[in-house]
């Protein structure tokens, strides 16, 4: 068991996932977070079903590994006494009116299922009657591909579960603004010091997992990651008296989606507003876009009650790949950032791999393409 002291800056899905992985390995973990408005995790409803994605290469490899890790993650959380995560494998439904696009999606998922293993479940092409049986409010023009292993999770619930499990293993949380400063060690190598509320925190390792604000944290050291904020607006609707708990997530082969939850609730979204800066507002255009996209494929939602619209500032990677690992120029400093819209799928697995590197001197070849 490690006796390392580790400071994790950020308590979104990346920070919470890393903190849990570190704490359950015996590290003395302090989570420092300033509760900024616009945390992406707090606004997200996650689809855990990467196999139909059109991305390739290392990004897809990490995407798929993240989905495959979920059953183990849920088991580890259970061992820590955490029973609610809102993760459920209700299936993923890919829908379109375009026969060619559906055929391409079917082929892509079937090909990937051969290497991804049983977590993908069954994959089948279905007609409109079956589509509407699975998700009754969808348009009568849509046909689909159903992937039975697709999952979904609520970002807030999973984040809270990971933090509670980290606390179960001894982690503590400090509500404060973390500030970094550098110093020279005896060997003239730069090391990092964390200050919070005017107090200097001592640690053997520091993990910056501050999402879209990662560069704000790193700026005092003259460091910058290729990450910028991207606003995402997502609206939650309620279908009064309708049991939506077993409805699959819906992917119309485009950027928007629908995720159903247990309390007659359907989350629809989300915008991808690159260049938004740190502006966590609900905008008229964003609300219009989200509802227009949703009602175009699911006219049965027209009479649903609009509960709320959440806004998250995603850490969008400029080079399309997240950044994970030790910073090469600063001793004891690691980063985990830049998952974009894939954080709920990727971050728990990635945090676990990073913890293995930091505490067990282990290797994580799966993280090599994402090194700072």
Work out the pLDDT band at 198, boundaries 50, 70, 90: confident
Q: Are residues 263 and 305 in the same domain?
A: yes
Beta-bridge mates of residue 310: 234
Q: Are residues 222 and 232 in the same domain?
A: no
Residue 176 lies in a domain: yes
Residue 81 lies in a domain: no
Sign of the torsion angle spanned by Cα atoms 115, 51, 12, 214: positive
Residue 69 lies in a domain: no
SS3 39: strand
Last residue of a domain, which of 273, 295, 316?
A: 316
Q: Which residue has the tokens 């183990």?
A: 72
β-strands 205-208, 227-238: how paired?
A: unpaired
pLDDT tens sequence across 20-34? 999 999 999 999 999
Q: What pLDDT sits at residue 190?
A: 53
pLDDT tens sequence across 250-308? 998 877 899 999 999 999 999 999 999 999 999 999 999 999 999 999 999 999 999 99
Give the closest residue to 9 by CA, choosing from 337, 352, 368, 355: 337
Q: Are residues 336 and 287 in the same domain?
A: no
Give the domain extent around 245. 89-151+228-316
- What is the C-alpha separation between 311 and 233, in angstroms, rounded? 5
Q: Are residues 121 and 141 in the same domain?
A: yes
- What is the C-alpha separation between 161 and 38, in angstroms, rounded? 20
Q: Give yes or no for residue 142 having a pLDDT over 60.
A: yes
Q: Are residues 223 and 363 in the same domain?
A: yes
Residue 295 lies in a domain: yes
Computed over every residue of the chain, the mean pLDDT equals 94
Q: Are residues 254 and 362 in the same domain?
A: no
pLDDT tens sequence across 93-122? 999 999 999 999 999 999 999 999 999 999
Look up the CATH number of the domain holding residue 117: 3.30.9.10
pLDDT tens sequence across 302-355? 999 999 999 999 999 998 899 999 998 888 999 999 999 999 999 999 999 999
Q: What is the CA radius of gyration of the chain?
A: 21
Q: Are 265 and 363 in contact (CB under 8 A)?
A: no
Q: Are residues 183 and 170 in the same domain?
A: yes
Sign of the torsion angle spanned by Cα atoms 31, 81, 50, 126: negative
Q: Are residues 310 and 234 in the same domain?
A: yes
Q: What pLDDT sits at residue 183?
A: 63
Q: Are residues 117 and 147 in the same domain?
A: yes
Residue 23 lies in a domain: yes
Residue 71 lies in a domain: no
pTM equals 0.95
Q: Give yes or no for residue 188 having a pLDDT over 60.
A: no
**Number of structural domains the chain divides into:** 2
Q: What pLDDT sits at residue 272?
A: 95
Residue 199 lies in a domain: yes
Q: Are residues 223 and 331 in the same domain?
A: yes
**Which two structure tokens, joined as six digits, stand for 229?**
């904020």
Q: What pLDDT sits at residue 185?
A: 55
Q: Are residues 192 and 202 in the same domain?
A: yes
As a whole number, mean pLDDT of residues 57-64 equals: 97
Give the closest residue to 340 by CA, choosing from 367, 369, 368, 320: 320
As a whole number, mean pLDDT of residues 57-76 equals: 97
Using a pLDDT cut of 70, give the percent of the chain over it: 97
Look up the CATH number of the domain holding residue 24: 3.50.50.60
Q: Give yes or no for residue 169 having a pLDDT over 60.
A: yes
Q: Are residues 240 and 306 in the same domain?
A: yes
Residue 279 lies in a domain: yes
Q: Give yes or no for residue 240 having a pLDDT over 50.
A: yes
């Amino acid at each position: 068991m490690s006796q390392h002291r580790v400071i994790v800056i950020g308590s979104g899905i990346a920070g919470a996932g890393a903190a849990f992985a570190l704490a359950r390995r015996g590290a003395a973990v302090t989570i420092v977070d300033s509760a900024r408005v616009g945390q992406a995790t707090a606004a997200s409803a996650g689809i855990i079903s990467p196999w139909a994605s059109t991305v390739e290469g290392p990004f897809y490899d990490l995407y798929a590994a993240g989905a495959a890790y979920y059953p183990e993650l849920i088991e580890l959380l259970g061992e820590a006494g955490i029973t609610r995560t809102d993760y459920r494998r209700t299936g993923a439904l890919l829908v379109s009116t375009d026969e060619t696009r559906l055929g391409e999606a079917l082929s892509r998922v079937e090909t990937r299922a051969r290497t991804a293993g049983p977590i993908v479940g069954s994959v089948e092409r279905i007609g409109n009657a079956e589509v509407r049986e699975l998700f009754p409010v969808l348009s009568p023009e849509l046909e689909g591909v159903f992937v039975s292993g697709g999952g979904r999770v609520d970002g807030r619930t999973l984040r809270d579960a990971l933090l509670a499990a980290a606390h179960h293993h001894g982690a503590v949380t400090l509500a404060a603004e973390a500030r970094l400063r550098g110093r020279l060690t005896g060997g003239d190598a730069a090391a990092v010091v964390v200050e919070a509320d005017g107090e200097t925190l001592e640690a053997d390792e520091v993990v910056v997992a501050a999402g879209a604000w990662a560069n704000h944290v790193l700026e005092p050291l003259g460091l910058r990651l290729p990450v910028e904020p991207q606003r995402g607006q997502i609206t939650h609707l309620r279908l009064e008296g309708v049991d939506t708990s077993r409805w699959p997530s819906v992917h119309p082969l485009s950027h928007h989606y629908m995720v159903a939850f247990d309390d007659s609730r359907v989350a629809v979204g989300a915008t991808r507003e690159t260049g938004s800066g740190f502006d966590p507002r609900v905008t008229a255009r964003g609300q219009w876009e989200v509802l227009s996209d949703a009602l175009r494929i699911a006219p049965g939602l027209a009479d649903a009650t609009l509960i709320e619209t959440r806004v998250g500032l995603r850490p969008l990677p400029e080079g399309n790949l997240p950044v994970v690992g030790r910073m090469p120029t600063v001793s004891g400093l690691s980063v985990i950032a830049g998952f974009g819209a894939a954080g709920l799928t990727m971050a728990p697995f990635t945090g676990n791999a990073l913890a293995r590197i930091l505490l067990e001197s282990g290797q994580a070849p799966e993280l090599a393409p994402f090194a700072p």
